[in-house]
Amino acid sequence: MIDVIVIGAGITGTAIARELSKYQIDVMVVEKSYDIANGATKANSGIVHAGYDAKEGTLKAKLNVMGNEMYEDLCKELDVDFIRNGSLVIAFSDEEMKHVEKLYERGIRNGVKELEIIDGEQLRKIEPNISENAVGALHAKTGGIVSPYELAIALAEIAFQNGVKFQFQTEVRNIKRREDYFIVETSRGNIEAKYVVNAAGLFADEINRMLGGKEFRIIPRKGEYCLLDKTQGKHVKNTIFQVPTSKGKGILVSPTVHGNLLLGPNAVEIYEKDDTSTTFEGLDEVIKGAQRSVRNINLRDVITSFTGVRATPDTGDFIINSPSKGAVNAAGIESPGLTSAPAVALMVLDLLREQGLILNKKENFNPKRVKPRRFIDMNQEEKEQALKENKLYGRVICRCEHITEGDIINAIYRPLGARTVDGVKKRLRAGMGRCQGGFCMPRVVEILARELKVEPEEILKAGEGSKILTGRTK
Amino acid sequence: MEREIVIIGGGPAGLAAAVEARKNGIEDILILERDKSLGGILQQCIHNGFGLHIFGEQLTGPEYADRFIKEVEKLNIEYKLDTMVLHISSDKTIQAINPEDGIINIKAKAIILAMGCRERTRGALNIPGTRPAGVLTAGAAQRFVNIEGHMVGKKVVILGSGDIGLIMARRMTLEGAKVEMVVELMPYSTGLKRNIVQCLDDFNIPLLFSHTVVRIHGKERLEGVTIAKVGDDRKPIPGTERFVECDTLLLSVGLIPENELSREAGVKINDITSGPVVDESMQTSIDGIFACGNVVHVHDLVDFVTEESRLAGRGAAKYIKKELKKSDERIYAKGNGGVRYVVPCIINSENVDNEVNFFMRVDNVYRNVYLCAKQGDTVITKVKKQMVSPGEMEHLKIKREVLKQIKKGEITFHLEEV
Ligand SMILES: Cc1cc2nc3c(=O)[nH]c(=O)nc-3n(C[C@H](O)[C@H](O)[C@H](O)COP(=O)(O)OP(=O)(O)OC[C@H]3O[C@@H](n4cnc5c(N)ncnc54)[C@H](O)[C@@H]3O)c2cc1C
Ligand SMILES: Cc1cc2nc3c(=O)[nH]c(=O)nc-3n(C[C@H](O)[C@H](O)[C@H](O)COP(=O)(O)OP(=O)(O)OC[C@H]3O[C@@H](n4cnc5c(N)ncnc54)[C@H](O)[C@@H]3O)c2cc1C
């Protein structure tokens, strides 16, 4: 019998797992896919929002502002890149300027610091490539950017190194309640746990039902993106938003922490929760929307496009509560869920305590993570040292991002290491550059097969059934 | 480390340049190649058809490469394999890395860029749909199949009628896969005529012109693609969509010269070719940095790569020996009226040995035309062509005497009706 089972290894589940790993309890995270961050956490804007969007008084507003303030220390501790690049909400008319003022006031009420309203001239001074039609903007200096999957992997690694177990390819199918514990039925057998945390993203409504909670629905809404090459990453410095309309927050243009340029998302309601397809119309909408805000975006430098699915709750706010005795929901975590995750985790812990979980601190909790330092990021001295330890650091596999064989082996053998081509990609960015794995993918397959001691035919791209090779040649 | 000539890339371009530089008296030459063997992309092209122009016989890719590798060995030209060049600067310092030596810093007197090209991918085309396994470039598939002995799928659609795609259509068929069709956006093929005949027609593989893939289906592994007809504007025509079941989509949608290093060094790049601007000696905008092969412009015949690379090798040798003349009297070569680009585009006639072979590509399919070179309205030379197409590189030679007479000014290349 374990103490707490956390369902879902997205940013919410991993943040909760790390928080729980500070205490003397047995914790297990179960995740139906092959890796950490394969849901919404894999595909989103990666913006650490300032907190002027959500209506005052909502959980979204409160946890956003709280989460944002926690990012600096958290990312330092986890050795994850985080940049406070600032956010701008630009207005194209006096009408829209009025809305900007409203956002400003809301931000102040939500407790957002360092907010200011600027005019067109000031705007162009900070962002020379902004559209000529912009007349002014809200400038939120506390807005930031982060790599969401890197952060989730880092949180999971900390949890793991402090004793939390992770079980992948394990889908929760049913939950039975006993007197003072649960039997969680999964695709890999039953797990008994005293407490259950529901962090199942798009499927949190189903888990809530299994837990006997008050009904709510998660409506999937997808957002499509285009990602541009690093040559375009300096085109803007801040994250550029448009004034939200009844149709949603609009298309943003933002640098990423890795120095690419990101355009998107649109917002389309969909019927299937796992519909991560992009559409011709959607990408067109994204590009047109981005061009409305920012001039001279070089579309020849688009290197990929992708889709993320929002888990929009029909209640309008995050659902963080106890659906039944011994259980806690962290559901309906749509945007700003990434920003809020560290604060959501604290709130979930409080609820677990209320449910009777006794939390005594571990003495030997180790909060520090040393990020898998990629060869390319090392200084001269570190490079020479690394080469001495493993000469495979001298073999470049991904030529766009300069990822070496040593880096890939490292990513495979780390705690909760990479087992798939996409897993390597997430941890190292191998195959994320301008050639999108055209050159290195065959070599990554070869290395994975060798290190995991399986046939190359067994290597997967991402999930069950995503085999890359179909057999031997004649 | 200091070296006279450092060649980046050990494909056919780098090898030919090395051999030629040695034959022109340079002892100190180093080739840096990131792969585990010399030969470049040719090592995975196990089909026939290389070397008709240079050797007068049909060789496979590896056989063709081998002739040059043998020569490099015989001439004792030094090379390092498994060695990736990471940086080049305008003062010709090079940083490279390999597992044996670690980080290598070299100061070169002359550099020859011969890095070849890479394939365009799905992202660059922005094809909508899901992101399953089973969508890969034709070149990556070729590597899996020909070098590593793995099959990449059973039911295949190929997007783009570039040569690699055509060759892979045949290869996959011979390996027992069913190639459903090759889909080409343009109303003509971007590959060589002979490849269409030998790789598609002989195997009854349909080639659909003016079609494209508009959607990719399948969650984990590819389950099919939606194709559609495109109009003259190359946009899909609504109502013409049709689903084709397949587990593999190979992309053969163009090659991009690999010029990140060249850009970093500050070499001037031509927007149309995406390769360095070069002169008659294959010298780039930076003195002492030369370039040849697919890094300059995408070739369809390796023979022309060899020819061009010999020029670069000779040019670099002359540069080291201070025999390369520099003058303000230059001829600029430009494409015009149907000709998209011309390589080389700067001529110092003093440096020309016998003639200059101008390579060019046209912007569309034309029948019964003259390909002509003009100075103002005066025709310098012209040849009659039954057909020209963007898929086949054209060339036109101009003699040294003629160039010397012109000396400075502009030569333009045109297509004219017969
Ligand atoms: C288009 C888009 C843009 C966004 N932009 C931002 C932004 O800029 N800033 C921001 O702060 N937020 C943003 N968000 C929101 C943010 O991405 C999400 O709030 C956050 O990633 C949610 O994390 P999660 O862990 O709750 O869910 P997920 O990441 O979806 O994780 C849930 C996990 O649960 C697993 N699971 C589900 N059911 C089961 C089961 N039965 N058994 C086992 N495992 C199960 C899933 O496989 C998944 O891995 C955006 C979201 C989208 C879609
Ligand atoms: C798949 C394919 C099929 C073809 N089929 C035919 C055919 O049937 N008949 C025909 O005549 N021609 C064919 N061609 C054309 C011909 O083979 C090419 O034009 C020729 O190989 C180009 O030579 P290259 O040396 O310029 O480039 P490549 O052969 O690509 O060689 C470039 C070399 O540089 C190395 N390199 C690149 N960057 C670095 C770096 N940073 N550090 C170290 N090394 C580096 C690469 O590893 C590579 O070995 C084909 C081309 C391709 C791509």
Least confident of A97-101, A251-255, A439-443: A439-443
- What is the residue with the minimal CA distance to atom 1 of ligand 2? B164
Whole-angstrom Cα distance, residue B217 to residue A452? 30
pLDDT for residue B205 is more than 80? yes
Q: Which of A279, A402, A471 sits opposite B86 (nearest CB)?
A: A402
Q: ipTM of the assembly? A: 0.89
| Interchain proximity B221–A280, CB inside 8 Å | no
pLDDT, position B300: 86
Mean pLDDT, residues A216-233: 93
pLDDT, position A274: 85
Ligand 2 proximity of B86 Cβ (cutoff 6 Å): no
pLDDT for residue A430 is more than 90? no
pLDDT band for B241, please (50, 70, 90 cuts): very high
pLDDT tens digits, B362-407? 999 999 999 999 999 999 999 999 999 988 899 999 999 999 999 8
Q: Confirm whether A107 is domain-assigned.
A: yes
pLDDT for residue A251 is more than 80? yes
Ligand 1 proximity of A220 Cβ (cutoff 6 Å): no
- What is the residue with the minimal CA distance to atom 18 of ligand 1? A337
Q: Confirm whether A43 is domain-assigned.
A: no
Task: Tell how far CA A356 is from the center of its chain.
Answer: 30
From B203, B226, B253, give the residue that closes a domain.
B253
A49 is catalytic: yes
Cα A86 to averaged position of ligand 2 atoms, centre (Å): 44
From A311, A337, A364, give the residue that closes a domain.
A311
- Is A242 strand, coil or helix? strand
Identify the CA nearest to A311 among candidates A329, A337, A342, A286. Answer: A337
pLDDT, position A247: 66
User: In A, which residues are within 8 Å of B131 by CB distance?
Assistant: 276, 306
Work out how many domains chain A is built from and give that number: 2
pLDDT tens digits, A335-346? 999 999 999 999
Give the CA distances from residue A247 to residues A92, A186, A244, B362, in Å, rounded to whole numbers and listed in that order. Answer: 16, 39, 7, 47
* Closest ligand by atom to B261 CA: 2
Least confident of A118-122, A436-440, B138-142: A436-440
Whole-angstrom Cα distance, residue B19 to residue B75? 8
* Closest ligand by atom to A320 CA: 1
pLDDT for residue B187 is more than 90? yes
The pTM assigned to this predicted structure is 0.89
pLDDT band for B327, please (50, 70, 90 cuts): confident
Q: Which residue of B has its CA nearest to A33?
A: B220
Cα A160 to averaged position of ligand 1 atoms, centre (Å): 20
pLDDT for residue A249 is more than 80? no
pLDDT, position B54: 86
Judgement on whether residues B248 and B134 belong to the same structural domain of the protein: yes
Whole-angstrom Cα distance, residue A245 to residue B52? 64
Mean pLDDT, residues A331-338: 97
Identify the CA nearest to B268 among candidates B110, B90, B131, B91. Answer: B90
Q: Confirm whether A17 is domain-assigned.
A: no
pLDDT tens digits, A348-367? 999 999 999 999 999 999 99
pLDDT, position A365: 97
Q: Confirm whether A44 is domain-assigned.
A: no
Distance from CA of B149 to the nearest CA of A (A): 5
Residue A94, domain CATH: 3.30.9.10
pLDDT band for B418, please (50, 70, 90 cuts): confident
Q: How many beta-carbon pairs below 8 A join chains A and B? A: 137
User: In B, which residues are within 8 Å of A467 by CB distance?
Assistant: 133, 221
Judgement on whether residues B272 and B229 belong to the same structural domain of the protein: no
Question: By percentage, how much of chain A surpasses pLDDT 70?
Answer: 99
Lookup result for tokens 């502009």: B410
Q: Confirm whether A285 is domain-assigned.
A: yes
Q: Confirm whether A105 is domain-assigned.
A: yes
Ligand 2 pocket test, pick from B30, B41, B278, B300 with the greatest ligand atom count within 8 Å of Cβ, gives B41
Work out how many domains chain B is built from and give that number: 3
From B290, B306, B324, give the residue that closes a domain.
B324
Q: Which residue of A has its CA nearest to B217?
A: A277
Judgement on whether residues B350 and B382 belong to the same structural domain of the protein: yes
B261 touches chain A (CB under 8 A): no
Distance from CA of A473 to the nearest CA of B (A): 5
Judgement on whether residues B265 and B248 belong to the same structural domain of the protein: no
Give A249's DSSP letter.
Answer: S
Q: Confirm whether A181 is domain-assigned.
A: no
| Interchain proximity A394–B214, CB inside 8 Å | no
From A258, A276, A311, give the residue that closes a domain.
A311
pLDDT for residue B136 is more than 90? yes
Least confident of A268-277, B172-181, B311-320: A268-277
From B203, B235, B253, give the residue that closes a domain.
B253
Q: Confirm whether A165 is domain-assigned.
A: no
Ligand 2 proximity of B293 Cβ (cutoff 6 Å): yes
B178 touches chain A (CB under 8 A): no
Judgement on whether residues B88 and B137 belong to the same structural domain of the protein: no
Ligand 1 proximity of A17 Cβ (cutoff 6 Å): no
Cα A60 to averaged position of ligand 2 atoms, centre (Å): 54
pLDDT tens digits, A293-329? 999 999 888 888 999 999 999 999 999 999 999 999 9
pLDDT, position B367: 94
pLDDT for residue A271 is more than 90? no
pLDDT, position A459: 95
E strand map for B74-147: 78-80, 84-88, 93-98, 102-113, 117-119, 135-137
pLDDT tens digits, A58-85? 999 999 999 999 999 999 999 999 999 9
Residue B274, domain CATH: 3.50.50.60
| Interchain proximity B150–A469, CB inside 8 Å | yes
Judgement on whether residues A303 and A397 belong to the same structural domain of the protein: no
Whole-angstrom Cα distance, residue B113 to residue B269? 13
Least confident of B186-200, B238-252, B362-376: B186-200
> A405: domain range?
375-458
Distance from CA of A443 to the nearest CA of B (A): 9
- Is A158 strand, coil or helix? helix
Give the CA distances from residue B118 to residues A90, A152, B294, in Å, rounded to whole numbers and listed in that order. Answer: 39, 33, 9
Q: Where are the alpha helices (DSSP H) in B132-227?
A: 138-142, 163-174, 193-195
Judgement on whether residues B303 and B416 belong to the same structural domain of the protein: no
Written as one string, the DSSP assignment of B366-408 is EEEEEEEEEETTEEEEEEEEEEE-TTS-EEEEEEHHHHHHH-S
> B6: domain range?
1-118+255-324
Single out the catalytic residue among A49, A139, A235, A258.
Answer: A49
User: In B, which residues are within 8 Å of A469 by CB distance?
Assistant: 144, 150-152
Cα A182 to averaged position of ligand 1 atoms, centre (Å): 25
Judgement on whether residues A290 and A380 belong to the same structural domain of the protein: no
- The rounded mean pLDDT for chain A is 94
Judgement on whether residues A299 and A412 belong to the same structural domain of the protein: no
pLDDT, position B125: 79
Judgement on whether residues A232 and A139 belong to the same structural domain of the protein: yes
Mean pLDDT, residues A140-157: 97
Cα A329 to averaged position of ligand 1 atoms, centre (Å): 14
